[in-house]
């Protein structure tokens, strides 16, 4: 069974939910077990499940004497025993998302969707992307969509980092372009969870700054670059007092201009 599969059991069942209280039900129900071990038991009434257990620690089943499914989480247990089994099946499943085009994979006829990254509904190929990514209409030579990501410049690269590396593009543009403010070293573009500009003399100098989402548009009074972001201009150093002071000064000037215009 695939890890991305949904199991479905339908039939005349006894359902026992045992935790703080014990509740028992009997009827024709459909039980759904999701890939993350969340279990829902549905009957014909209403939209709410008869019983459920979210992200169980484990889900086991036994078909030797009828069909029994047991889900456990901490002190909670959900047991579904089928007296009459109408059906049991396993179905492939995926996350849903906004369609962004056809998958270029060999022999794949699936559709690419955007949901916590990009993945194919057909072949399950997945591509992680930064949250601020804008997908472009044009395609890479490999057939995948290209994405626009702002990291000092607006970079247009393939979804597949193995095809076109965003890290390499940012490194080519900004590696050693900025001086370390705390020593005589250069700032290197490094991948440490996200992209950072870190001092070449690490660990002797542990200076490092997360590269913000935005386009480099000038120089801060501290000597580091400033970035035009969706929330305004900011220094590469998010804690820079000079950058904050300049932002407050600009805001005050804008407010004075607004008051003058109103009068």
Lowest-confidence range among 114-123, 138-147, 220-229, 236-245? Answer: 236-245
- Give the model's confidence band at 256: pLDDT under 50 very low, under 70 low, under 90 confident, else very high: low
Of all residues in the chain, what percent carry a pLDDT higher than 90? 73
Q: Residue 2: is its pLDDT beyond 50? A: no
Go through 227-253 and write b for each residue having 16 or more CB atoms within 10 A of its CB, e for each that does not: beeeeebbbbbeebeebeebbeeeeee
**pLDDT one-digit tens code per residue, 30-53:** 999 999 999 999 999 989 999 999
> What is the reported pLDDT for 19?
87
Q: Which residue has the higher pLDDT, 32 or 20?
A: 32
Q: Residue 249: is its pLDDT beyond 70? A: no
**pLDDT one-digit tens code per residue, 77-126:** 999 999 999 999 999 888 899 999 999 988 898 999 998 899 999 888 89
What is the set of domains in the chain, with CATH numbers?
5-92 (2.70.180.20), 98-160 (no CATH), 170-249 (no CATH)
- Give the model's confidence band at 1: pLDDT under 50 very low, under 70 low, under 90 confident, else very high: very low
- Give the model's confidence band at 196: pLDDT under 50 very low, under 70 low, under 90 confident, else very high: very high
> What is the reported pLDDT for 4?
80
Q: Residue 246: is its pLDDT beyond 70? A: no
Q: Residue 6: is its pLDDT beyond 90? A: yes
Per the prediction, the chain carries an average pLDDT of 89
The whole model's pTM is what?
0.69
Which pair of tokens denotes residue 46?
């209403």
Q: Residue 244: is its pLDDT beyond 80? A: no
Distance CA 168, CA 178 (A): 17
């Amino acid at each position: 069974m695939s890890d991305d599969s949904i199991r479905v059991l339908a039939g005349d069942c006894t359902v026992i939910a045992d935790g703080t209280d014990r509740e028992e039900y009997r009827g024709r129900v459909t039980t759904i077990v999701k890939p993350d071990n969340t279990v829902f038991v549905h009957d014909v009434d209403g939209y709410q499940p008869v019983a459920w257990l979210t992200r169980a620690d484990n889900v086991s089943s036994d078909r030797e004497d009828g069909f029994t499914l047991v889900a456990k989480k901490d002190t909670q247990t959900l047991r579904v025993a089928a007296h009459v089994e109408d059906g049991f099946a396993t179905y492939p499943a995926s996350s849903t998302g906004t369609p962004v085009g056809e998958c270029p994979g060999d022999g794949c006829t699936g559709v690419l969707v955007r949901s916590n990254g990009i993945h194919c509904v057909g072949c399950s190929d997945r591509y992680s992307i930064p949250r601020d990514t804008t997908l472009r209409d044009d395609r890479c030579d490999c057939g995948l969509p290209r994405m626009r990501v702002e990291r000092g410049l607006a970079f247009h690269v393939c979804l597949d980092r193995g095809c076109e590396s965003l890290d390499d593009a940012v490194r080519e543009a900004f590696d050693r372009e900025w001086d370390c403010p705390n020593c005589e070293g250069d700032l290197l573009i490094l991948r440490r969870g996200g992209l950072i500009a870190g001092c070449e003399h690490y660990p002797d100098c542990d200076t490092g700054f997360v590269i913000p989402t935005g386009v480099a548009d000038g120089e801060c009074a501290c000597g580091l670059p400033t970035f035009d972001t969706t929330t305004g201009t900011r220094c590469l150093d998010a804690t820079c007092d000079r950058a904050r002071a300049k932002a407050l000064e600009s805001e005050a000037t804008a407010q004075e201009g607004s008051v003058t215009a109103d009068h």
